[in-house]
Structure 1
Amino acid sequence: MNAPSQAPIDTCTRAGSAPTALAWLEAVELERRQAGLRRSLRPRSAVATELDLASNDYLGLSQHPDVIERGVQALRVWGAGSTGSRLVTGDTELHQQFESELAEYVGAASGLLFSSGYTANLGAVAGLTGPGSLLVSDAYSHASLVDACRLSRARVVVTPHRDLDAVDTALGSRDEERAVVVTDSVFSADGVLAPVRELLDVCRRHRALLIVDEAHGLGVRGGGRGLLHELGLAGAPDVVMTTTLSKALGSQGGVVLGPSAVRAHLIDAARPFIFDTALAPAAVGAALGALGVLKAEPWRPDAVLRHARELDQICRARGNDAGRGAAGRGAAGQCGICPPESAVVSVILGDPEVALAAAMACLDAGVKVGCFRPPAVPAGTSRLRLTARASLDSEDLELARRVLTDVLGRAAGARP
């Protein structure tokens, strides 16, 4: 006998009824709206109708025919899904081929693929620390590193942005036997570089491991091999690199690269590796294709930085320099007139509603830019975040010039 049908239960407050379990969401949403921090999803079409200065497809490879073809080949050979965790049925020859090729390219001894850059950071940080160890994290570390610190059960010290003395003090005063310092190589909101070489010097004085997230460095710095390679630190025995395949490589997934002992340990200890379904073979194949293009076309990383400099100059025009990334760079102790160090150009507008209005005005004029508001950035530093791509041409840059000059000029007058 069929059970009687029931109408769905509305968990929010109804007129004249007692508050329900999720009634608090109404107050939270109202607070977000009043603060200009409400977000919404805006699906994009398959064929772009705007100039993309928002995505992290730095090398322009997500639509490259060779990348797509390698993904399609993997799909046909291995199927749509990986069918299980890598320790059960999800590991393929393709996964291990990519790990080996990327490790060789960046100068690491080994690599281990995860389903995303986020889970790679969770696995590396939590797997290499734990109770009885110390974790030192930059205040501007990516959310994945922040969450990894929280999940690690280690004692966590958050140090001011790029403050080497604070890191030195935290490591020098510890009681724990083991210590790990984590940082982005390129901070994602403003594109500023971490002082990686100096951080490693501090770590070595205190026998600490350094974990560097190269999500925004791979494919851009060091001729594409990342900031660690550029600094001559690739393959160091006390450095672990994490990165994502979803930015410069135009695919999806994450990887931890470092000494072979780290790979062996994480296979046994990293929960996001052990219990998560393996990365889909099509994503691995596409990433292999992108890595092949990057090797064959070394002009692409240089083009990213060249186009970032041009976007930066556009944002300086007509008195916009006060709102440019200079505020973020100044906080990092760098020159406010220095050229960009990565694909990211940050234009700080301060007020979240002003930043959102500027982003929408750009979109209406045919240019899509990022809009970063708290909690993604500190209060009072809401901004437009522009990203350069290797595949931009002169017409793209001229459109960017016209739109940004107009929108930023109006935004300057709209600041509270």
Structure 2
Amino acid sequence: MRPDEIDSALSALAGEHRLRRRATLQSPQGPRVTIDGRDYLAFASNDYLGLANHPALRQAMQQAIGDWGVGGGSSALVAGHFGIQQQAEEALAEFVGCEAALLFGSGYAANLGVITSLVGRGDAVFADRLNHASLNDGCLLSRATFKRFRHNDLAQLEQLLRDTPARTRLIAVDAVYSMDGDEAPLRELLQLAERYDAWLYLDDAHGFGLLGDGHGALLEYALHHPRVVYMATLGKAAGVAGAFVAGSRQLIDWLVNSARTYIFTTAHPPAQAAAILRSLQLIDADKWRRHLINEHISALHAGLRATSLSLCSSRSPIQPIIIGSNKQVLKLAEQLRARGIWVPAIRPPTVPAGSARLRVSLSAGHTRDDVAELLAALLSVIS
């Protein structure tokens, strides 16, 4: 795009009700936040277990800063791999039942680094149409032949696998889809991967901490297999930041030597690893957090059952209310904000055209009264 075309492009986005602006938090992350100077009850964060501002995680990071300092200083392969990060990688691997794990700065970096390390020119990669943008970008940057199949359509995926002449194949999916909250048919996908000699790359960003009694989709569906490459982010249910990839020792050794987003970047702060270690303990011990989320989901569905607002079928904390129109979803979000409720309006291109929605994100940090307050506000704006 030319410099003189930016203004008109921004105006076009505004005309389509797709122009985005950042809201500024002036408080820690949590169910009650201050945004642009006003207090809100928020249903916007992916902090599903309510750990992002947990005192134990704050204490762990503060103590680790004293022990390890603030910055990573260099890339991991030069002199930036700290002992506390090694401990975190070993703990993460054990937590999800794999031989080894590797920390990345973000889920985006992990997806780009892993996919481009496993497939390239002459290979083929197959991705669900509702995959996260970072998965799609990893597929595109790999330079492999990139085929997308209809959401959870195993028959179409099998046809694509059957037709490809590529020697190396990779199937990439989300375990839990970030805008619908539904899940991929993981056992059936692994069967296809075995039948057609393919990798199965699993992005469990929205399942880790929740599925498998908190240990993620690998344990939920018993997916431990040499063909499965597992990725989960640590800035959602875990409440910290970054991501990790887990699998066989050979796979992780290969990624250390080939994943460009790991090799050519400064290591993330070592103190972050201390918070990750403490978070794993809380995820494992605080089962009540997942039970409370399930209660919130049931209450939300029961409260909206007799209304014109329909929720998608989702057992995850992601509870989208499909509105359709960009203009209408922005109006509803603004009406909720006027009542002190922050629910994000999600529009294309994040979701398909015509499926703009209110993305309600529930958390163990929410109380039962918080969910009741949300329901009252929703009923008010549609009355």
TM-score norm. by structure 2 comes to: 0.95
State yes or no: 1:351 paired with 2:325.
Answer: yes
Task: Please report how far the alpha carbon of residue 316 of structure 1 lies from its aligned counterpart in structure 2 after TM superposition.
Answer: 3.2
- 1:393 alignment partner AA: T
What do residues 381-411 of structure 1 show as CA deviations (whole Å, max 9, x unaligned)? 000001111122122122112112212x15x
* Corresponding residue number in structure 1 for 2:109: 119
* Corresponding residue number in structure 2 for 1:256: 245
* Pick aligned residue for 1:293 from 275, 282, 307: 282
* Corresponding residue number in structure 2 for 1:318: 307
Give, in whole Å, the separation in 1 of the partners of 2:294 and 2:176: 13
State yes or no: 1:223 paired with 2:204.
Answer: no
Contact 2:296-2:368 within 8 A present in 1 as well: no
* Corresponding residue number in structure 1 for 2:15: 34
- 2:51 alignment partner AA: L
What do residues 267-293 of structure 1 show as CA deviations (whole Å, max 9, x unaligned)? 010000000111212322222221111
State yes or no: 1:102 paired with 2:76.
Answer: no
Give, in whole Å, the separation in 2 of the partners of 1:208 and 1:124: 15
Are residues 316 and 198 of structure 1, via their aligned partners in 2, closer, same or farther at CA, if it must alter by over 3 Å? same
Task: Please report how far the alpha carbon of residue 21 of structure 1 lies from its aligned counterpart in structure 2 after TM superposition.
Answer: 4.4
SS of the residue 2:320 aligns to = strand
* Pick aligned residue for 1:245 from 217, 220, 234: 234
SS of the residue 1:220 aligns to = coil
TM-score norm. by structure 1 comes to: 0.87
* Corresponding residue number in structure 2 for 1:189: 179
Contact 2:235-2:241 within 8 A present in 1 as well: yes
Task: Please report how far the alpha carbon of residue 59 of structure 1 lies from its aligned counterpart in structure 2 after TM superposition.
Answer: 0.2
Give, in whole Å, the separation in 2 of the partners of 1:245 and 1:184: 15
Instruction: Please report the RMSD computed on the Cα atoms of aligned residues, expressed in angstroms.
Output: 1.4
* Corresponding residue number in structure 2 for 1:413: none
State yes or no: 1:45 paired with 2:26.
Answer: yes
SS of the residue 2:344 aligns to = strand
* Pick aligned residue for 2:269 from 280, 284, 298: 280
* Corresponding residue number in structure 1 for 2:36: none
Task: Tell me whether 281-290 or 244-253 shows the greater mean CA deviation.
Answer: 281-290
- 2:324 alignment partner AA: G
Contact 2:208-2:216 within 8 A present in 1 as well: yes
Give, in whole Å, the separation in 1 of the partners of 2:353 and 2:13: 13
* Pick aligned residue for 1:93 from 83, 93, 105: 83
Structure 1 regions of 5+ residues with no counterpart? 1-19, 326-337, 411-416
- 1:285 alignment partner AA: A
* Corresponding residue number in structure 2 for 1:397: 371
* Pick aligned residue for 1:55 from 45, 55, 61: 45
Which structure would you say has the larger Rg?
1
After TM superposition, the runs of 4+ consecutive aligned structure 1 residues lying more than 6 A away are none
How many residues were matched structurally?
Answer: 374
Task: Please report how far the alpha carbon of residue 212 of structure 1 lies from its aligned counterpart in structure 2 after TM superposition.
Answer: 0.5
SS of the residue 1:32 aligns to = helix
* Pick aligned residue for 1:366 from 340, 347, 361: 340
Are residues 80 and 317 of structure 1, via their aligned partners in 2, closer, same or farther at CA, if it must alter by over 3 Å? farther
